Amino acid sequence: MERVLVECDRAAAGFEADPVHDLRVALRRCRSLADGLMAMDSRPSWTEMKKAGRKLFRALGELRDMQVMQEWIEKLTDADGGAVDPVAAKLLEHVHARAAECKQLAWKDLNQFDKRRWRQWSRTLPGRAARVRPGSVVYRHLALEKWTAAYELHKRAMHTRSQAALHELRIGIKRFRYTVENFLPDEHARWGKDLKELQDLLGEVHDLDVLRATAFQIQAFPDIASRNRWHEKIQRERVRRLDRYRELMIGKHSLWRVWRAELPAGPELRAAALSRLRVWAGYLDTDFAHTLRVAQMSLRLYDGLRQAGLLKEEAEPASREILQAATFMHDVGKARGRDNHQKRSFRMIRRLPPPLGWSARDLELAAVVARYHRGALPRPRGKNLQRLDLPDRRLALELAGVLRLARTLDLAQGKSARLALEARNDLLILHLEGYSPMERGAEKIAAARHLLETALKKPVMIRGMAIAPAAKPATQPTH
């Protein structure tokens, strides 16, 4: 971000090609950085920073487009041996006039660029970005998301071969490239050269399409012969680049397959999606240390209930991950106030797009479980449960019962305590380290276990766990 300010000063000192290009590159990198982090950190500053650089970035981009178009005109004219071409002359006249206009607009936007706000973001946002380590599974999941979007655009472009589809494909590959460049240093070291070549190939195809459209727009062709000659020259360059793209991206050894093989798949993909949800919640939760303790307690309870046979072995295999996700996200609503935050958490979770590897049903279940971690008990005919299929309603109640009790145990104990479950025919006994029925938190714990008792159709009794005395240090023998 500091680089943007440096390049702004360089460009303002001399509005030359190199400073303008370097400023655009710095802005582009910051905007793509914000685009990636906005998916996990909902702090408005990321959106504000992206918007703040948009106007200047576009103005510099238009100026750069004119420079590129001039280079193409000169290159295609040189291919004819440098002969005077009325089409080239008219195109260059248009480009020079348009470049002067773009330069004035870019200069105006540069002078209006708010450096003070950008300095503020430079001080505050890098610390937030540093919460997630570059190369982590969260960023690999984000890269897979961009890969998937780009690959869909590739299939459409290869099927339709339209200019619009190829342009969208270029944008998709660009977004994938910038995600890898910003967040996956090891992968960028291996893929960066190929990604740049692909973006350049499709970018040049787009430049040639724009050149041809501009020539028609300004009526640069004096006759059919000149139009056909320029069409052939543009098409020849265009086909050469598309052939190279197909050589790299179609077939058993295409780069699409190479990249996909190194990104999360199968169980790793579901785990990466869970980590993504955890990071999103961590940016919002005001006491995430408490949340992590509750998650640990919830999983202990869940595993104990599963081992005791109180949760069906054939139940939804992803239920443990759904419980984890609900636990990580149950307090995100506190970011907008503590009162009735469970309802806000529910709405915020439901608004999330399901991460790759998770279904909309998984996220809906996690939202319902988080909704009932406190507050009113779920009503069988309530709209929240009615959104779920019948088998999922019982699962949601069981998981919500586990989360509700685990949360209250942590609030009452204030620490991560050992526990053990003992299942009998008529009841379930939870042995909890440090628990005393006469302490202040015991009444809240008694109320919190009710939802789990209802879901399991079995009473839950909580008892203290005897703490083994610490081993005495061995005495040194006397001589």
Mean pLDDT score across all residues of the chain: 88
Q: Which residues pair with 462 in a beta bridge?
A: 430
The pLDDT of residue 83 is: 59
pLDDT digits (tens, 9 = 90+) for 404-427: 999 998 888 766 678 888 888 788
Which among 42, 54, 2, 4 has a CA at the least distance from the CA of 25?
Answer: 4
User: Cβ neighbours of residue 352 under 8 Å, at least 6 residues apart?
Assistant: 277, 280, 363
Please give the class, per CATH, of domain 267-414.
mainly alpha
Q: 3-state class of 299 per DSSP?
A: helix
The pLDDT of residue 132 is: 92
341: left (phi over 0), alpha (psi -120 to 50) or beta: alpha
- C-alpha 126/C-alpha 128 separation (Å) is 5
Which residue did the predictor score with more confidence, 203 or 312? 203
Q: How confident is the model at residue 371 (pLDDT cuts 50, 70, 90)?
A: very high
User: Cβ neighbours of residue 474 under 8 Å, at least 6 residues apart?
Assistant: none
Task: List C-alpha distances in Å: 237 to 20, 85, 195.
Answer: 28, 19, 20
Write phi, then psi, for 468 (nearest 5 degrees). -65, 135
Mean pLDDT of 100-126: 87
In a 13 Å sphere around the CA of 48, the CA atoms on its Cβ side amount to: 11
Which among 458, 282, 447, 315 has a CA at the least distance from the CA of 374?
Answer: 447
Which among 136, 179, 148 has a CA at the least distance from the CA of 260?
Answer: 148
Which residue did the predictor score with more confidence, 465 or 250? 250
Domain map (residue ranges) of the chain = 2-136+190-244, 267-414
The pLDDT of residue 479 is: 44
Identify the top-confidence range among 120-129, 250-259, 455-464: 250-259
Mean pLDDT of 150-177: 95
The pLDDT of residue 69 is: 93
The pLDDT of residue 20 is: 72
Task: List C-alpha distances in Å: 321 to 278, 313, 316, 423.
Answer: 11, 15, 10, 24
Which pTM does this prediction carry? 0.89
The pair of structure tokens assigned to 342 is 């469970």
Q: How many angstroms from the chain centroid is the CA of residue 186?
A: 19
